[in-house]
Amino acid sequence: MSYRRPYRGTQPDYLFPPYASTVKRAPSQPLVVLPHTLSELTAPVFGYSDINPDDNDLTRQHKGEPLGERIVVSGRVLDENSRPLEGLLIEIWQANAAGRYNHRVDQHDAPLDPNFTGAGRAITNSEGRYRFVTIRPGEYPWRNHYNAWRPAHIHFSLFGPAIVTRLITQMYFPGDPLLEYDPMFTCVPDEKARNRLISLFDWETTIPEHALGYRFDIVLRGREATPMETPR
Amino acid sequence: MSLRATTSQTIGPYLRIGLEWMVIEDLAPQGVPGERVRIEGRIVDADGKPVNDAAVEIWQANSHGKYASAEDAQSNPLDSVFRGYGRSLTDDAGNFRFRTIKPGRVPGPEGSTQAPHVTVTIFMRGLLKQLQTRIYFADDPANAEDPVLALVPVERRPTLIAKKRADGALEWNVVLQGRNETVFFDF
């Protein structure tokens, strides 16, 4: 039993010189192909007892309301065989509405928001669904190249059923003009794979007179189909 | 109809905001059976500069060689308070640290048995996807017959083996690139 290897072009390589930090950090020696043993096919289990019920609402972590546009970000987590993944821990973090992170390394000249930390957590339900309430993060400059700006994004970290399904990614917003200039976005050779990182505006989850809804579905690696095991 | 896995993206420099709440550097509270070990190390880049913004995650079996995961169908016992998962965020000097127990042996491919090892996943700014590697234990005779170590060129195997220091800790460093580059796996 093992997990499917990535389709060509759907995952970035380690070395991508337009993203300057990869140059000194990407491995240069050939990777050793790892068989999927019990160590790779298992993973830690998390549950509702690991988080607080309000951890998925980033707008209610302080006395006042954060500044910015309130949004609902929700979606499903499935594996490549379309199986919903229940009980997964999702961790998110993001900049505030002004494009500033609540982090000592971030020196961008934009205001911090005392009512916004920018971190959230959720556990997927039996249909693989999750939901966060937050504010739309701002775009911000970085020093990768001249006049470099990151498109608005939310960082997502997921634990799957196996160590080899662990995923950290970023969710983007539809219509963001900065995407085509962003080496983190363009590092993915396959255009369709890249575009799946862009959330969809969603009427269904938009709350009237309160918050716009964005949908972001996530797919984790699935097991290879074997004669013993037909994918659902 | 099969779906395709979502693309990985870098963890970026601000990982502490999202991941610091669940730092677990002490995996084995009192009462967990097994040989106590401290694993400490440092991550450096191609220039030998410390990496101060990495997340190092470990995953391991308990001392009976059983993973606390539904995917492990072996009948050997679980230890209720030992999850087997650790997370350390590197400090300004690039250091990470764990206190845990030495894992037992677990099955490998084709009826083999693996030497005791800890699975390591590393994220950092400048990595578009995680690095996957392993820590083995120096002087364990089982290393000689480990099916995964056997796949690694002999001269590079020492990069996967933690060495005992005078103070009793096991030292295991990560060199991202260049001379003595750590072995990373295509997983």
Mean pLDDT of A159-184: 97
What the block records as the tokens of A34 is 């790892």
Domain B15-175 has CATH 2.60.130.10: yes
Task: Report the greatest alpha carbon distance in chain B.
Answer: 56
- The rounded percent of chain A whose pLDDT value lies above 70 is 97
Q: Model confidence at A74, in pLDDT bands (50, 70, 90)?
A: very high
Interchain contact, A35 vs B9, CB within 8 Å: no
Mean pLDDT of A176-197: 97
Asked whether B130 and B123 are in contact (CB, 8 A), the reply is yes
Q: Which portions of chain B are predicted below pLDDT 70?
A: 1
A226 pLDDT more than 70: no
Of A22, A34, A121, the CB nearest to B185: A34
What CA–CA distance (Å, rounded) separates A227 from B2?
A: 16
Asked if the C-beta of B107 comes within 8 angstroms of chain A's C-beta atoms, the answer is yes
Domain A46-220 has CATH 2.60.130.10: yes
- The rounded percent of chain A whose pLDDT value lies above 90 is 94
DSSP β-bridge partners for residue B119: B59, B134
Nearest residue of chain B to residue A36 (CA atoms)? B187
Mean pLDDT of A173-184: 98
The pLDDT assigned to A228 comes to 54
The residue ranges of every structural domain in chain A are 46-220
The pLDDT assigned to A231 comes to 47
The pLDDT assigned to A230 comes to 47
What CA–CA distance (Å, rounded) separates B105 from B34?
A: 12
Q: Average pLDDT of chain A?
A: 95
DSSP letter string, B90-155: --TTSEEEEEEE-----B-GGG-BPPSEEEEEEEETT-SS-EEEEEEETT-GGGGG-TTGGGS-GG
What CA–CA distance (Å, rounded) separates A43 from A16?
A: 29
Of A10, A14, A219, the CB nearest to B127: A14
Interchain contact, A82 vs B2, CB within 8 Å: yes
Asked whether B120 and B57 are in contact (CB, 8 A), the reply is yes
Give the ipTM of the model, two decimals please. 0.97
Tens digit of each residue's pLDDT (9 = 90 or more) over A78-132: 999 999 999 999 999 999 999 999 998 998 999 999 999 999 999 999 999 999 9
Asked whether B32 and A8 are in contact (CB, 8 A), the reply is no
Give A11's contacts in chain B (Cβ within 8 Å).
5, 7-8, 129
The pLDDT assigned to B166 comes to 96
The pLDDT assigned to A232 comes to 45
